[in-house]
Amino acid sequence: MKIAVFSTKSYDQEYFENYSIDSRYTFSFFETALNKDTASLTNGFDAVCIFVNDRVDKNTIKILSKNGIRLIALRCAGFNNVDIEAAKSNNIKVVRVPAYSPEAVAEHAVALILTLNRKTHKAYNRVREGNFSLKNLIGFNLYGKTIGVIGTGQIGATFCRIIKGFGCKIIAFDVSKSDELVQQGVEYLSLDEVFQQCDILSLHCPLNASTKHIVNEKSIALMKDGVMIINTSRGALINTADVITGLTSKKIGYLGIDVYEQEEKLFFEDLSESIIEDDLILKLISFPNVLITSHQAYFTKEAMDEITTTTLQNIEAFDKNLELKNEVV
């Protein structure tokens, strides 16, 4: 079975080569993203393995089907970048990695909160330059603050358990409540109530029609002045232009994002010698109270181990006509 792996970096190839010991499976690695313009590269392959910034829409799937692709294996949890109905109509199975070290993403969200609050990144740079002043480095105690969590799946639930250790009050919104979290003291409220009451808002929900731009002009207006917003889920949960307006007016006091709506043109690449042609990201970078990381929340050894092994198990299950436990239906 021949698998074309798209959007790969050296570390992706390293993990796949380390874990793939079955000679029946041959992997070819492409640095380019999969989309309708690159789908011709799949000719002669049986399956494709894709990541968050590949765009497998209806037109791409038509080409994949024509080239004989029978399986789309996502090495991530989200699948909003794949037209599932088009895949079904072309008899292409879609599998994913539903959970991989939720601690990795949850811990990164906490890291963004702590860094933004206590400005450790700025203190680090100051001390390296011989500047030991504390001016403008003041933060606030997390203890006693109200943390709003949107989405309490595995990652959101893990985040709740971690942040609870700081002595925070946790309020949450999800379409389904977790009895376990309720027992641990998490209070479920309406979405508007979470927006209104939280000091810090952390997004952990999937991207779909109901959650796209869930943080927008209207929801920002409901929030407390100086609110901190954290997003380690999907970029399009936030309307970037509206958030910039909120930052400019000082309605939003802090913004920490590991994802960005237009990240496929930027993230995972070294653009230090290039002119970045994205006015919104450049504007965000200019704010002193904005912290951006380039989709690295998942990037731990444990998560990479889980992503790779689960993806290989999904491919093997398909090849052997076994139950596809992680099929997207």
pLDDT in the model for residue 23: 79
For 312-329, what is each residue's pLDDT tens digit? Answer: 999 999 999 999 999 998
pLDDT in the model for residue 75: 95
For 212-261, what is each residue's pLDDT tens digit? Answer: 999 999 999 999 999 999 999 999 999 999 999 999 999 999 999 999 99
Determine, yes or no, domain membership for 11: yes
pLDDT in the model for residue 20: 76
For the question of residue 204 being annotated catalytic, the response is no
**The dihedral of CA 186, 187, 193, 198: what is its sign?**
negative
Considering the domain architecture, whether residues 140 and 215 belong to the same structural domain is answered as yes
**How long is the chain?**
329
pLDDT in the model for residue 77: 86
Query: What DSSP string describes 171-209?
Result: EEE-SS--HHHHHTT-EE--HHHHHHH-SEEEE-PPPST
Considering the domain architecture, whether residues 160 and 236 belong to the same structural domain is answered as yes
For the question of residue 263 being annotated catalytic, the response is yes
Q: Span 33-44, mean pLDDT?
A: 96
**The dihedral of CA 277, 283, 213, 173: what is its sign?**
positive
Considering the domain architecture, whether residues 280 and 307 belong to the same structural domain is answered as no
For 105-146, what is each residue's pLDDT tens digit? Answer: 999 999 999 999 999 999 999 999 999 999 999 999 999 999
pLDDT in the model for residue 101: 87
Considering the domain architecture, whether residues 76 and 163 belong to the same structural domain is answered as no
Considering the domain architecture, whether residues 209 and 308 belong to the same structural domain is answered as no
CA distance 324 to 95: 7
Catalytic annotation, pick one of 96, 261, 263, 306 = 263
3-state secondary structure of 318: helix
CA distance 98 to 198: 28
Considering the domain architecture, whether residues 167 and 118 belong to the same structural domain is answered as yes
pLDDT in the model for residue 32: 95
Determine, yes or no, domain membership for 327: no
Residue 13 has pLDDT above 80, yes or no: yes
CA distance 49 to 230: 29
Instruction: Name which of 322, 315, 281 is nearest 73 in CA terms.
Output: 315
pLDDT in the model for residue 100: 83
Host domain of residue 135: 102-292
CA distance 188 to 224: 19
Cβ atoms of 70 and 24 closer than 8 Å: no
Considering the domain architecture, whether residues 142 and 259 belong to the same structural domain is answered as yes
Spell out where the chain has E strands. Answer: 2-5, 26-29, 47-50, 71-74, 93-95, 146-150, 169-173, 187-188, 200-203, 227-231, 252-257, 290-292
For 149-164, what is each residue's pLDDT tens digit? Answer: 999 999 999 999 999 9
Determine, yes or no, domain membership for 325: no
Determine, yes or no, domain membership for 329: no
pLDDT in the model for residue 18: 86
pLDDT in the model for residue 6: 97
Determine, yes or no, domain membership for 324: no
Residue 58 has pLDDT above 90, yes or no: yes
Instruction: Name which of 117, 125, 78 is nearest 97 in CA terms.
Output: 78
Considering the domain architecture, whether residues 70 and 118 belong to the same structural domain is answered as no
For 27-37, what is each residue's pLDDT tens digit? Answer: 999 999 999 99
Cβ atoms of 232 and 204 closer than 8 Å: yes
pLDDT in the model for residue 237: 98
Considering the domain architecture, whether residues 195 and 74 belong to the same structural domain is answered as no
Determine, yes or no, domain membership for 111: yes
Considering the domain architecture, whether residues 88 and 109 belong to the same structural domain is answered as no
% of the chain with per-residue pLDDT over 90 = 94
Catalytic annotation, pick one of 55, 234, 261, 306 = 234
Cβ atoms of 75 and 50 closer than 8 Å: yes
Q: What is each CA distance from 82 to 54, 157, 297, 316, in whole angstroms? A: 8, 26, 22, 21
Determine, yes or no, domain membership for 328: no
For the question of residue 14 being annotated catalytic, the response is no
Q: Span 91-114, mean pLDDT?
A: 95
CA distance 200 to 176: 21
Residue 297 has pLDDT above 90, yes or no: yes
Instruction: Name which of 161, 145, 49 is nearest 94 in CA terms.
Output: 49
Considering the domain architecture, whether residues 131 and 84 belong to the same structural domain is answered as no
| Mean pLDDT value across the chain | 96
Contacts of 198 (CB under 8 A, 6+ apart): 146, 147, 148, 171, 223, 224, 227
Considering the domain architecture, whether residues 163 and 23 belong to the same structural domain is answered as no
Domain count, the chain: 2
* CATH code assigned at 73: 3.40.50.720
pLDDT in the model for residue 24: 87
The helix (run of H) or strand (run of E) holding residue 255 is strand 252-257
CA distance 181 to 183: 5
Cβ atoms of 12 and 29 closer than 8 Å: yes
pLDDT in the model for residue 249: 98
Q: How confident is the model at residue 185 (pLDDT cuts 50, 70, 90)?
A: very high
Cβ atoms of 312 and 20 closer than 8 Å: yes
Determine, yes or no, domain membership for 48: yes
CA-based angle 100:215:137, to the nearest 5? 80
3-state secondary structure of 94: strand
Catalytic annotation, pick one of 55, 75, 96, 295 = 295
